[in-house]
Structure 1
Amino acid sequence: MTEEEKNLSSKLQNLMEKEAGKRKLTLQQIENLIQRHKESIQNVSEYDLTDTQEYYSHWNLISNLGTDYTEREFRKFDVDDNNSKLIQFLLYYFNGCRYAQNVFPEENYKVHKNLLLVGEPGTGKTMLMQIFADYLKLTCNPNAFENLSVTQMMNYYKIHGHIDLYTYNENQSKGFKPNPFNICLNDIGLETENQKSYGTSLDSVIDEFLYARYEIFQQYGKKYHITSNLGIAEFKKRFGPRLVDRFKTFNVLPLCGESRRI
């Protein structure tokens, strides 16, 4: 073998060793990566509410959490014809259970959509969302969310001049990746929206929130829920066509009945 052939052989040997040393994905690694990706985008609850016994355990927990709130006013947490099916839907919904879509068969409610609770003042919209916020945190559910009132957001805007904390949360970002979280904005439609802060109409702050949260929902899968005293017709009047179109990403849930406030 000539010197040139030896050099060529050596180079081929080195190349083969490098190729052999490259990292390769095993089937087990692929399965693990797929599972990790699924968990990161689907927010799957670890509880199976298709199991009847499991479902009623969670129902009892919700009932007791509600009682914890109403006992401060020396009254019961009432589950009645006006809210029982809604509570059932929310239990299935937040646990990613397909049964949620069967609770109101006449509606086209979907588990992947956001929530818009509408109803007269005092019917229990905000309290229900507070109860479920507590429930989701106690059960370490990935669909847990923070409750935020319109008044609180307005005050934050007046102090800071922006609402980043409740949208992209860039202050807590890692590199170029923002850190938004699931949120529920309560009481859209309050008179406080008509106020102004340094010339900026506060109803435009609500619009900014809705535009940003829609993008966040589309890009990062972080949900934004809403409660409001406005009816559907009032919503269309309050918000422009572009925003109204984005409400197609919501399950619109009416909460009927008289005021539960004492």
Structure 2
Amino acid sequence: MNENIKSHYSYPEVINWLEQKGIEIYGNHFKILETDHPIVCKLIAYFLKDEQTCFQYNINLNKGILLTGPIGCGKTSLMNLMKYLTPTEHKFSVKPCRDISFEFIQDGYQIIHKYSIGKLYQSEPRTYCFDDLGTENNLKYFGNECNVMAEILLSRYDLFISKKLQTHITTNLSATEIEKHYGNRVRSRLREMVNLIAYDKTTPDKR
């Protein structure tokens, strides 16, 4: 953690705790590398709702997180670990975008409703981390092609504005690629909805 950043939390202790948790879940090879500490500290600050540190990192606590980085840099496992730091009212589920696209093939347009408005039979909106945005394909449901994730993100934007619903995303796409896949509207809405936290493009594949 940057020496100039002041906080009432001990970030090295939190990182150690997360590493232990990671070993429990992923096995003995799990490690949080020192080179990743700047990224991890930003995520910790956000998910612990450490206002003072978030202010210093220029992170807006009302927005979600967009975590970008090369394939295999550890985005998904980090977001899974962050669930253990998150206060109950901000709990979120990690959902692979590919799974959502397969559900769409199965169940059609109600899936867009499910991941935007909330559960199928309950109007309470939910916080999701959409994992690996860009790995799903445009899919056909009864012959109609649909960019499922674009529709979900646009619906969630409306809920972000009206109900402060947060959305988290991991992706290895750049901003330009997001625009190419999902259109300019999605890219500009995402700017309003999320804090961008980015791994260096040269981060090696840890798998």
- TM-score normalised by structure 2 residue count: 0.84
Give the secondary-structure state (helix, strand or coil) at the position aligned to 1:171: coil
Moved more, 215-224 or 59-68: 59-68
Which residue pairs with 1:159 in the alignment? 106
1:238 positional shift: 2.0
Which residue pairs with 2:15 in the alignment? 59
1:207 lines up with 2:154 in the alignment? no
- Does the 8 Å CA contact 1:70/1:77 hold for their aligned counterparts? no
Residues 52 and 208 of structure 1, relative CA distance in 2, 3 Å threshold: closer
Q: What RMSD, in angstroms, separates the aligned Cα atoms of the two structures? A: 2.1
Q: Tell me the distance in 2 between the aligned counterparts of 1:102 and 1:115.
A: 16
Give the secondary-structure state (helix, strand or coil) at the position aligned to 2:34: coil
Q: Tell me the distance in 2 between the aligned counterparts of 1:208 and 1:52.
A: 39
Q: Greater Rg, structure 1 or structure 2?
A: 1
Which residue pairs with 1:124 in the alignment? 74
Which residue pairs with 2:31 in the alignment? 77
Residues 79 and 101 of structure 1, relative CA distance in 2, 3 Å threshold: farther
1:195 positional shift: 3.6
How is 1:35-184 mapped onto 2 (pairs within 5 angstroms)?
50-53=7-10, 55-71=11-27, 74-81=28-35, 83-98=36-51, 99-103=53-57, 108-136=58-86, 140-161=87-108, 162-163=110-111, 164-169=113-118, 171-173=120-122, 178-184=123-129
- Does the 8 Å CA contact 2:101/2:139 hold for their aligned counterparts? no
Q: Tell me the distance in 2 between the aligned counterparts of 1:134 and 1:201.
A: 37
Which residue pairs with 1:42 in the alignment? none
Q: Tell me the distance in 1 between the aligned counterparts of 2:144 and 2:131.
A: 21
Number of corresponding residues: 196
Render the CA deviation track for 1:114-169: whole Å, top value 9, x for unaligned: 11111111011111111112443xxx432210010111111221222121222212
Moved more, 247-256 or 117-126: 247-256
Which residue pairs with 2:137 in the alignment? 193
Residues 208 and 188 of structure 1, relative CA distance in 2, 3 Å threshold: same
Percent identity over the alignment? 23
Bigger relative contact order, structure 1 or 2 (CA pairs below 8 A, ≥6 apart): 2
Which residue pairs with 1:18 in the alignment? none
Letter aligned with residue 128 of structure 2:
I
Q: Which runs of 5+ in 1 are unaligned?
A: 1-48
Give the secondary-structure state (helix, strand or coil) at the position aligned to 2:205: coil
Give the secondary-structure state (helix, strand or coil) at the position aligned to 1:86: helix
Q: Tell me the distance in 1 between the aligned counterparts of 2:199 and 2:61.
A: 18
Q: Tell me the distance in 2 between the aligned counterparts of 1:186 and 1:85.
A: 21
Which residue pairs with 1:258 in the alignment? 204
Larger fraction in helix: 1
Give the secondary-structure state (helix, strand or coil) at the position aligned to 1:219: helix
Give the secondary-structure state (helix, strand or coil) at the position aligned to 2:178: helix
Letter aligned with residue 61 of structure 1:
W
Give the secondary-structure state (helix, strand or coil) at the position aligned to 1:259: coil
Q: Which runs of 5+ in 2 are unaligned?
A: 1-5
Q: Tell me the distance in 1 between the aligned counterparts of 2:18 and 2:191.
A: 28
Q: Tell me the distance in 1 between the aligned counterparts of 2:60 and 2:66.
A: 12
Residues 239 and 183 of structure 1, relative CA distance in 2, 3 Å threshold: same
Residues 221 and 189 of structure 1, relative CA distance in 2, 3 Å threshold: same
1:225 lines up with 2:179 in the alignment? no
Q: Tell me the distance in 1 between the aligned counterparts of 2:26 and 2:31.
A: 6
Q: Tell me the distance in 2 between the aligned counterparts of 1:132 and 1:170.
A: 22
